[in-house]
């Protein structure tokens, strides 16, 4: 019994450190992601006194021909304010080796989006994500992006 108490305490400590996502959603992209297709997600009501980390989750297949991904992400607040960010995330090393996790032809990446933010306004927040990938030297974006299979977000408890 005496030896089991430290083991139980260690287990409880490790379990409390890895709480995992408290909210999130993934959406499948069917065959191509059109530059005009905006994915819309609702963020549920969260505790306004806590900090949260927001992540973007991306799955890509071997059909994706770029090493990076440009996204336009906006959060609409319940009372009308909107925060919009243009983001670049790297999906492959310079030699073409995919980053992320997964076996086979699909890799999954979890990217930081917002760190230690609070959702102080009561109501439903809306997040929109669209792709903004361009070929080098071209002004117009890639009309139909191939190889991104899923896009989503996850929210985890932040630092206190």
* pTM beyond 0.75, yes or no: yes
Residue 5 pLDDT grade (very low, low, confident, very high; cuts 50, 70, 90): low
> Is residue 142 one of the residues assigned to a domain?
yes
More confident position, 13 or 130: 130
Using the predicted structure, report yes or no on whether residue 65 has a pLDDT greater than 90: yes
**In this structure, what CATH number is given to the domain that contains residue 132?**
2.60.120
pLDDT tens figures, 73-83: 999 999 999 99
Q: Specify the number of domains making up the chain.
A: 1
Comparison of pLDDT for 16 and 126, the residue scoring more: 126
Burial of 75 from C-beta contacts in 10 A (0-12 / 13-18 / 19+): buried
Q: Residue 133: its pLDDT value, please? A: 96
Residue 150: which domain range? 20-157
- Asked whether residue 15 is domain-assigned, the answer is no
Find out whether 126 and 75 touch, Cβ atoms under 8 Å. Answer: yes
Rounded CA separation 114/84 (Å)? 12
Residue 34 lies in a domain: yes
Look at residue 137 in the predicted model and tell me its pLDDT: 83
The token pair at 48 is 């306004």
Q: Is the pLDDT of residue 2 over 90?
A: no
Counting Cα atoms < 13 Å in the Cβ hemisphere of 109 gives 20
């Amino acid at each position: 019994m005496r030896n089991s108490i430290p083991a139980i305490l260690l287990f409880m400590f490790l379990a409390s450190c890895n709480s995992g996502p408290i909210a999130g959603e993934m959406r499948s992209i069917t065959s191509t992601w059109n530059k005009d297709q905006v994915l819309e997600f609702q963020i549920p009501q969260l505790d306004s006194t806590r900090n949260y980390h927001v992540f973007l989750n991306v799955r890509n297949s071997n059909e994706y021909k770029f090493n990076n991904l440009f996204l336009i992400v906006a959060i609409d607040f319940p009372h009308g304010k909107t925060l919009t960010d243009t983001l670049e995330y790297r999906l492959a090393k310079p030699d073409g080796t995919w980053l992320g996790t997964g076996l086979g032809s699909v890799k999954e990446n979890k990217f930081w989006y917002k760190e230690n933010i609070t959702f102080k306004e009561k109501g439903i927040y809306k997040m929109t994500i669209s792709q903004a990938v361009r070929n080098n030297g071209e002004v117009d974006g890639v009309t139909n992006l191939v190889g991104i299979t899923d896009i989503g977000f996850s929210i985890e408890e932040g630092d206190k």
